[in-house]
Structure 1
Amino acid sequence: MSAIDQLPPLRAVIAAHGLSARKALGQNFLLDLNLTAKIARQAGDLTRADILEIGPGPGGLTRGLLAEGARRVLAVEKDARCLPALDEIAAAYPGRLEVIHGDALEIDPLAHLSPPIKVVANLPYNVGTELLVRWLTPPDWPPFWDSLTLMFQREVAERIVARPGSKAYGRLAILAQWRAEARIVMDLPPEAFTPPPKVRSAVVQLTARQAPLYPADPAILSRVVAAAFNQRRKMLRASLRGLAPDIEARLEAVGIAPTDRAERVSLEKFCALARNIAGDG
């Protein structure tokens, strides 16, 4: 493994600071710096963007982002053990890395970063989906971020990009694809990590749309989709009965068969149903 900067190899950093990965924090460290630089490149041109990174751990991806020319990186780390290693990286890249010891769910990125902002992270497994949902459901749209380049378990990645008719298709696919273009850009085997997880991982790229793909009220769409997929084995006329007494007529009005199940209905049709329930057509 060739070096991407003048800092020590990650195995040496981990040994020097006693940074064994903690399962309770959802930690799995990527030690191959060439791999972390490749992930950083998936986010596109970094030289004109500020980067938000969540859960940098010993800083493998952080170093990849900085080596690839990121204008500025804000790294939010909950594990205090990792801070000395991250401080060493900050010293090697003066003025380009800010490290915050805290919970990513409580940080306001706009207080620290200037647009355009990209989020690039090997997310801790235990908060990854929750963070993604928050980034996709802000009070106002467009969001603070231009793109999200995120590592998930492969199963979660497949749910984000799933198409109608597949078993993976559900609420997460609709939420992601309504407001962003989503695609899987990299696969990573368990052995790429320390300790190796029991599942494969994948990097997902989400690019924010300026406006949602189809018009719909976010709260109503969320309610429709939640009701549909909470009972995905049921026909829609049964699972959506609580939304409107005349739900069968409303389904037929937007071209959805009342006997269909949620996994067969496209994003476009779900948005049409949400508009119909809202009284907008």
Structure 2
Amino acid sequence: MRSAPQLSLPGWRPLRPVRNSGAAGVLLRAPLSAGEAGREKVRASAAAEHSRPGPARLSSVRCVRRQHSPPRPVPALGLPRRADDKIVKQAGELKNAHVCEVGPGPGGITRSILSAGVEQLILIEKDARFIPGLQMLSEAAPGKVRIVHGDILTYKMEKTFPKHLKKNWEDEPPDIHIIGNLPFSVSTPLIIKWLENVSKRDGPFIYGRTQMTLTFQKEVGERLTANPGSNQRSRLSIMAQHLCTVENCFVIPGQAFVPKPEVDVAVVHFTPLVQPKIQQPFELVEKVVQSVFQFRRKYCFRGIETLFPENGRLKRTEQLMMTADVDPTLRPFQLSMSQFRNLCNAYRKMCDEDPSLFVFNYREELRQKKMTGNVLGSTDQPEQTEEENQL
């Protein structure tokens, strides 16, 4: 008897004729090897286990990514499980706590937060591609997770948590935490926004001294915690440290992320202070600090000059430096927190005497001068000033 023709298709096992008492030449698949039979048995057992009724389990991040994989590389960064757990651990005790996670992405940190036994978890995610995967995690933890599809920069957090969690500012921090693996593009404007909320005790800080554990580009994390004299000392250093205790917890190498960024990532923990180190309005402190760091490599008086109109600028700058008792030849990154406090207090006194000072905008003055020069014509236009070149 002739043998049946062999089929040669990609991914198919070769077939061979097997004698059977019922019919001759019936085609059957070749018997599985011992190893293949074992793997089939494991797969069948796993399928039976998943079909068995029982409590909902959290889907793995790999499973979520596989089922809801975005069509192109995503901006949010994913981390291995150990790094997720380490970030959540830095937030402190989360048992029965209320947590807001910013930018959960595929949900790696989300799983670690839920594993810590939180009472409530608010997820704020802007990218719609991640929402289906987060809904899977929400279904696995019924009653604990609320997903907000929106932008954290515009989201109002005043009514996010129950009112009974509120504490007086002088008390211990409330059982509320903000945790976020932030996209680099929003991390700096977001922390400035939250620092302003700390100063005014509104937003997420209407409940008290809410703690934050956030990720930043490594260089930004170094600026947030830089001491006087450090090359990383900047506006961000002063604005953060005068309002919060800032701790650079640890650094995660860039290669630990998916997709891999070109820089390392710092995990920073913030706890608002009971009393700010500079007791002036946020807008005033920010204006003085921005002006001082306007020319960070020059003497600090060069930046202080930009607080005043051209008419009387030198005289008022000298008056401010003398009142604040600050050496005008120090560089901006050399100034201590107490020296910035003296500068802010002296400037506030001058603004009280002349309210027009606070609304003065140096950049607007330069713009007006440039427009005036253009009106006069290119032949009569004054030479560009040093200030304009530097700005």
Fold agreement, TM-score > 0.5? yes
Choose the corresponding residue for 2:180, options 118, 121, 138: 121
**Aligned-pair distance for 1:21?**
6.6
- Give 1:226-265 correspondences, 5 Å limit: 226-244=290-308, 245-265=315-335
**Aligned-pair distance for 1:56?**
0.5
**In structure 2, distance between residues paired with 1:204 and 1:237:** 32
Amino acid at match of 1:132: I
**1:84 has 2:132 as partner:** yes
**Aligned-pair distance for 1:6?**
3.6
Amino acid at match of 2:179: V
**1:15 has 2:66 as partner:** yes
> Is the partner of 2:251 in helix, strand or coil?
strand
> Is the partner of 1:13 in helix, strand or coil?
helix
Q: RMSD between aligned alpha carbons? A: 2.0
The count of corresponding residues between Structure 1 and Structure 2 is 274
| CA-to-aligned-CA distance 1:107-135 (integer Å, 9 cap, x gap) | 11232223432110101111111111100
> Is the partner of 1:210 in helix, strand or coil?
coil
| Bigger Cα displacement from structure 2, 160-169 vs 216-225 | 216-225
**In structure 2, distance between residues paired with 1:249 and 1:128:** 37
**In structure 1, distance between residues paired with 2:76 and 2:217:** 12
Choose the corresponding residue for 2:339, options 269, 272, 279: 269
**In structure 1, distance between residues paired with 2:322 and 2:118:** 50
Q: Report the counterpart of residue 387 of structure 2 in structure 1.
A: none
Q: Report the counterpart of residue 217 of structure 1 in structure 2.
A: 281
Choose the corresponding residue for 2:243, options 179, 190, 197: 179
**1:136 has 2:195 as partner:** yes
**In structure 2, distance between residues paired with 1:152 and 1:20:** 26
> Is the partner of 2:192 in helix, strand or coil?
helix
The verdict on how the C-alpha distance between 1:261 and 1:92 changes in structure 2, with shifts beyond 3 A counting, is same
Q: Which has the higher contact order (CA 8 A, sep 6+)?
A: 1
| Bigger Cα displacement from structure 2, 76-85 vs 139-148 | 139-148
The verdict on how the C-alpha distance between 1:36 and 1:42 changes in structure 2, with shifts beyond 3 A counting, is same
Q: Report the counterpart of residue 160 of structure 1 in structure 2.
A: 224
**In structure 1, distance between residues paired with 2:96 and 2:275:** 23
Residues 59 and 137 of structure 2 are in contact (CA less than 8 Å); yes or no, is this contact kept in structure 1?
Answer: no
- Structure 1 unaligned blocks of 5 or more: none
Residues 277 and 341 of structure 2 are in contact (CA less than 8 Å); yes or no, is this contact kept in structure 1?
Answer: no
**Aligned-pair distance for 1:105?**
1.2
Residues 297 and 331 of structure 2 are in contact (CA less than 8 Å); yes or no, is this contact kept in structure 1?
Answer: yes
Residues 120 and 144 of structure 2 are in contact (CA less than 8 Å); yes or no, is this contact kept in structure 1?
Answer: yes
- Give 1:41-52 correspondences, 5 Å limit: 41-52=89-100
Following superposition, which runs of at least 4 residues in structure 1 exceed 3 angstroms of deviation?
19-23
**In structure 2, distance between residues paired with 1:180 and 1:21:** 38
**1:58 has 2:106 as partner:** yes
- Structure 2 unaligned blocks of 5 or more: 1-55, 166-173, 309-314, 353-391
Choose the corresponding residue for 2:77, options 23, 28, 36: 28
Structure (1 or 2) with the greater strand fraction: 1
| CA-to-aligned-CA distance 1:24-70 (integer Å, 9 cap, x gap) | xx32111x223212211110111243111111011111111111122
Residues 102 and 123 of structure 2 are in contact (CA less than 8 Å); yes or no, is this contact kept in structure 1?
Answer: yes
The verdict on how the C-alpha distance between 1:198 and 1:21 changes in structure 2, with shifts beyond 3 A counting, is farther
Amino acid at match of 2:181: N
| Bigger Cα displacement from structure 2, 198-207 vs 231-240 | 231-240
Residues 21 and 27 of structure 1 are in contact (CA less than 8 Å); yes or no, is this contact kept in structure 2?
Answer: no
**Aligned-pair distance for 1:163?**
0.8
**Aligned-pair distance for 1:253?**
3.1
Amino acid at match of 1:135: W
Instruction: Compare CA radii of gyration and give the structure with the larger one.
Output: 2
> Is the partner of 2:158 in helix, strand or coil?
helix
Percentage of matched positions with identical amino acids: 32
**1:190 has 2:238 as partner:** no
Q: Report the counterpart of residue 39 of structure 1 in structure 2.
A: 87
> Is the partner of 1:84 in helix, strand or coil?
helix
> Is the partner of 1:206 in helix, strand or coil?
strand
Amino acid at match of 1:29: G
Amino acid at match of 1:200: D
**In structure 1, distance between residues paired with 2:249 and 2:256:** 16
> Is the partner of 2:242 in helix, strand or coil?
helix
**In structure 1, distance between residues paired with 2:324 and 2:212:** 32
